[in-house]
């Protein structure tokens, strides 16, 4: 039901008595809230709730939160009605990435192929953060998950148009599975 929207924040609760919203930023760029004019609020199930006009927003650095004042919410009780809802944007509203960077949701479901032979290895099921590098989880046709570090030595090509990721297999790399 979410229709490819991207969640960038979760409303945690009211801040103070004037209806400000305490928002947990779910984006690598939380400062985007500081320049937004409108926020679209959706339920956990992806149902549109309301568009809110931002009057002000500020970061609470040490807590990783945003506190937002809106035109439409003026009391603590009104703000409490939005707890657990999400701020979502359309994919085209995402910030631009550097060359060689990709949105995880664009990668999920892509075919993984052996870069040398072209043989299909499986489907990219998930991407997990493992410190300095991500790990691509590739599920093979037998349902086994293989963990491939997302580094240039192993991921030789990502083709978004063809929905294909080419992997350079080193000895023992593909055998590492769960």
Residue 169 CA to its chain's centroid (Å): 28
Q: In a structure prediction context, what are the per-residue pLDDT tens digits for the chain, which is 178 residues long?
A: 446 788 999 999 999 999 999 999 988 788 899 999 999 999 999 999 999 999 999 999 777 799 999 999 999 999 999 999 999 999 889 888 888 788 888 899 999 999 888 899 999 999 887 778 888 999 999 999 999 988 889 999 999 899 999 999 877 667 655 5
For domain 104-167, the CATH architecture is Roll (2.30)
The CA-based dihedral angle spanning residues 79, 84, 89, 94, taken in that order and rounded to the nearest 10 degrees: 110
Rounded Cα–Cα distance for residues 13 and 6 (Å): 21
The pLDDT assigned to 61 comes to: 78
- Has domain 6-93 been given CATH number 2.40.50.40? no
- pTM score, two decimals? 0.68
Ranges of each domain in the chain: 6-93, 104-167
In terms of DSSP bridges, do strands 164-167 and 111-114 run parallel, antiparallel, or are they unpaired? parallel
The rounded distance, in Å, linking the Cα atoms of 142 and 20 is 50
pLDDT, position 3: 62
For 173, phi then psi, to 5°, come to: -65, -50
What pLDDT score was predicted for residue 2? 47
């Amino acid at each position: 039901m979410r229709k490819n929207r991207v969640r960038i924040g979760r409303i945690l609760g009211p801040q103070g008595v004037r209806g400000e919203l305490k928002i947990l930023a779910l984006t690598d760029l939380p400062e985007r809230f500081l320049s937004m004019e409108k926020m679209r609020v959706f339920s956990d199930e992806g149902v549109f709730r309301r568009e809110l006009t931002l009057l002000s927003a500020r970061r609470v650095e040490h807590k990783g939160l945003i506190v937002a004042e809106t035109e439409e919410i003026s009391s603590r009780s009104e703000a409490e009605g939005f707890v657990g809802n999400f701020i979502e944007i359309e994919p085209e509203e995402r910030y631009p990435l550097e060359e060689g960077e990709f949105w995880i949701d664009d990668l999920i479901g892509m075919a993984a192929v052996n870069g040398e032979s072209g043989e299909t290895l499986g489907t990219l099921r998930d991407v997990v953060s493992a410190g300095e590098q991500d790990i691509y989880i590739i599920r093979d046709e037998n349902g086994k998950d293989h963990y491939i570090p997302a580094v240039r030595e192993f991921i030789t090509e990502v083709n978004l148009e063809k929905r294909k990721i080419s992997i350079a297999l080193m000895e023992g790399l593909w055998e590492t599975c769960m």
